[in-house]
Amino acid sequence: MMKSTVFSAVAVSIGYTLLGWDFTTVLEANIHMKKEFGLNNGPSIDGIILAVSVFGSIAITVFSGSLLDWLGRRAALIYSSLLLISSGLLMVWSPNIYILLLARLIVGSGSGLVFTCVPIYISETSPPNMRGSLGTMPQFMFFVGIVFSYCLIFWMTLIPSPNWRIMIGAIFAPSLVYFALLVFYLPESPRWLVSDGKISEARISLQWLRGKDDVSGEIALIADGMNMITETAVGGHAVGAVRSQSFLGTSTNQMSRHSTFYWHLSDPLVDLLGSIHESMSELGAGRNSYFPVFNSFNIVEQERTSEQRGNDSLQQSREAYSAEEGNNGDNLQASLLSQVASAETNDINTSFTSEGSSSYLRRHGTSTSGLAQDLISSLHDHDIEEDDEEIHIAALSSQPALGSGLHPFRQQIVRLSETADIKPKWRVLLQPGVRHALCYGMLIQALQQSAGISGLLRYTPQILEQVGVISLFSDIGLDSHSASILISVLNASLMLPCITVAMILMDVCGRRVLLLVSIPFLTLSVGAISLSNIVKMGSLPHEILFQLSLTICFCSYVIGLGPIPNILCSEMFPTRARATCASFCSLAFWFGRLLSIYCFPVMLSTIGLSGACAIYAFVCCLVLVFVYLRVPETKGLPLELIAEIFKFSRQECL
């Protein structure tokens, strides 16, 4: 049933294949372009040439949040593919250094859009139980691009005069394939369509992604989540439940932690989400005792429960509604309105559907009847005539009063607001939960680049030549440079099985666990690389130790710190602020990448590889401490619930 979802994730992740291709080929091309254009050799020249594309990425990332919200996820990706195609053609031509730098600036712009948009698209189209695995797909495709580019470079090193323009310009060919897939096969993100008021189109997109016709519950959840981050309705019931069950009375151990030094350092969100996952594992298919109001977020459970025990009441409400509505409603409309009508008898299950039906109303128009008209018309696959619209309005107005007979908490949920706006505003970033998540997202992206693994990946062939590992392949008749490229191909190929393991474990063990397990191995391996160049040993033991440490370093990186920051930054924010917040996180990534690109060759020429790796090992230790104290577990949770819990965590701290 999820074949279309997996296909869309693979198709959109091809953009990361293009990033991996460009990531590797540009450094090899620098060697030849400097000779042709008469550029001075030196680490600063290398850094500047490589940094041009990063400047383009930074420039486009500044506006990427607004572009993604204005154009949509799919349209932004299509424009990014066009940028990559045009830049590839310019690099194939590039008669002088100025055209080449312009092409590098354009390819950086396309890469910046791809980097920001792909994780967002995958997180918004994936179900909670597959979001981690599919979110790791871009990292897998990134290394696929690295492997293919290394294979091309290895083949060209065997040629007497390799053409560097083909190395970097050949990216336009896979970009054409990427463009075709985006235009003809990729649907728009259902969450963006809902945020833009296109409920019918969102339902069609979600039906294609899920491979089934009945997606009413998930559409209602998405519509409901549009307003969750600004509402205080959750605070009355759910926060009280959590305070009584999770923070104040679940166990003596949790209570005692308030008085410990650890409690002042750790984030309550880490413990809160951990307790939720423990509760979910203990209860199995049972209901969530920590967030009873959010039990309806479990779409699979809701649909299964409604099929078993709610068929009779649902059928009655549908018949009553269809008599007044003229049998023009669809499954989503009947689901939303029937659950609102049965709010008194099914209090918990209505907690999100009543708000879900009203959250869309809150953001369109200035009167209740006008809002209702927009909702009803958007729920149909076909255009509604004027007479039918009047019938729909009358049918909705004839429903029992939304607030009558309900608990004050329910009345707070279903109250219509005339001032709510669906469009993202910068003020959303100042709200406690969004601000909290944004700081964490930017910090983890900056720390990922500060760990220096991207520099080691980019300069692997040069490092292998410097260390002398190529002597292990001296018997096969290759020169030192070709041998270093061949070893790089083998190293990159070993990453693919490791990323596959990470994809399998991402939704089983969780993001936090994989980070806490992989970062220590990453730290030790980087430290071993540093020590292997300091401690005196024989040539062969030194080469074996270095190569083994480098392989462990890369494998542990692609399991944890490589893919997980992007996954976290694509799922921590509410839908209407996700693109803007993700653009800020991407800015932190690209500034860290810029610093790494420029500083790494300078450090190699000054303090050497051992000194650089010693600094990187220390940064990895800082990353481990940050993850342990501040990064929560988000596996299996709906995006809307993650965003709301970040808000709740800040309220609890205050």
Which of 197-206, 294-303, 444-453 has the lowest average pLDDT?
A: 294-303
| pLDDT, tens digit (0-9, with 9 covering 90-100), for 137-187 | 999 999 999 999 999 999 988 888 888 899 999 999 999 999 999 999 999
**Integer Cα distance of 585 and 155 in angstroms:** 37
Neighbours of 99 (CB within 10 A): 13
Q: What confidence category does residue 298 fall into, taking pLDDT thresholds of 50, 70 and 90?
A: very low
Please report, rounded to a whole number, the percentage of residues in the chain having pLDDT higher than 70: 66
**Integer Cα distance of 374 and 49 in angstroms:** 53
CB 154 within 8 A of CB 489: yes
Q: Quote the mean pLDDT of the chain.
A: 75
pLDDT for residue 1: 62
DSSP string for 20-36:
HHHHHHHHHHHHHHHHH
pLDDT for residue 458: 87
pLDDT for residue 373: 44
- For 295, which DSSP code? G
Looking at residues 99-116, what average pLDDT do you find?
94
- Looking up tokens 């209505």 gives 350
Q: What confidence category does residue 76 fall into, taking pLDDT thresholds of 50, 70 and 90?
A: very high
CB 114 within 8 A of CB 16: yes
Dihedral sign, Cα of residue 286, residue 413, residue 578, residue 194: positive
pLDDT for residue 277: 65
- Looking up tokens 């969750």 gives 228
pLDDT for residue 201: 94
- State both tokens at 187: 């649907």
pLDDT for residue 504: 94
Burial of 138 (0-12, 13-18, 19+ CB in 10 A): buried
DSSP string for 73-112:
HHHHHHHHHHHHHHHHHHHHH--SHHHHHHHHHHHHHHHH
pLDDT for residue 483: 87
Please check the confidence at residue 589 and state whether its pLDDT lies above 90: yes
DSSP string for 199-246:
HHHHHHHHHHHHTSS--HHHHHHHHHHTTGGG--HHIIIIIHHHIIII
**Integer Cα distance of 521 and 518 in angstroms:** 5
User: Can you give the C-alpha Rg of the chain in angstroms?
Assistant: 27
pLDDT for residue 538: 80
| pLDDT, tens digit (0-9, with 9 covering 90-100), for 11-40 | 999 999 999 999 999 888 888 887 788 776
**Integer Cα distance of 59 and 364 in angstroms:** 34
| pLDDT, tens digit (0-9, with 9 covering 90-100), for 326-362 | 444 444 444 444 444 444 334 433 333 333 333 333 3
pLDDT for residue 312: 52
**Integer Cα distance of 263 and 268 in angstroms:** 8
* Length of the chain (residues): 654
| pLDDT, tens digit (0-9, with 9 covering 90-100), for 364-407 | 333 333 433 443 444 444 343 334 433 333 333 333 333 344 43
- For 249, which DSSP code? S
Looking at residues 464-485, what average pLDDT do you find?
78
**Integer Cα distance of 175 and 173 in angstroms:** 5
Q: What confidence category does residue 220 fall into, taking pLDDT thresholds of 50, 70 and 90?
A: confident
Q: For the CA atoms of 289, 291, 292, 295, what is the dihedral angle to 10 degrees?
A: -110
- For 561, which DSSP code? T
**Integer Cα distance of 261 and 532 in angstroms:** 38
- State both tokens at 58: 């930074």
Higher pLDDT, 140 or 538: 140
Q: Nearest Cα to 329, choosing from 387, 395, 386? A: 395
- State both tokens at 109: 């712009």
DSSP string for 412-456:
HHH---SS--SS--GGGGGSHHHHHHHHHHHHHHHHHHHT-HHHH
**Integer Cα distance of 161 and 168 in angstroms:** 15
| pLDDT, tens digit (0-9, with 9 covering 90-100), for 245-280 | 333 333 334 333 433 444 345 566 776 666 666 565
**Integer Cα distance of 280 and 277 in angstroms:** 5
Higher pLDDT, 185 or 576: 185
**Integer Cα distance of 535 and 403 in angstroms:** 75
Please report, rounded to a whole number, the percentage of residues in the chain having pLDDT higher than 90: 44
Domains and CATH numbers, the chain: 1-186 (1.20.1250.20), 428-653 (1.20.1250.20)
Q: What confidence category does residue 106 fall into, taking pLDDT thresholds of 50, 70 and 90?
A: very high
**Integer Cα distance of 200 and 323 in angstroms:** 22
94 backbone φψ class: left, alpha, beta (φ>0; ψ -120 to 50): left
Coil, strand or helix: which one is 315?
A: helix
**Integer Cα distance of 424 and 70 in angstroms:** 10
Higher pLDDT, 414 or 52: 52
Please check the confidence at residue 235 and state whether its pLDDT lies above 90: no
Sequence-separated (6 or more) residues with CB below 8 Å from residue 477: none
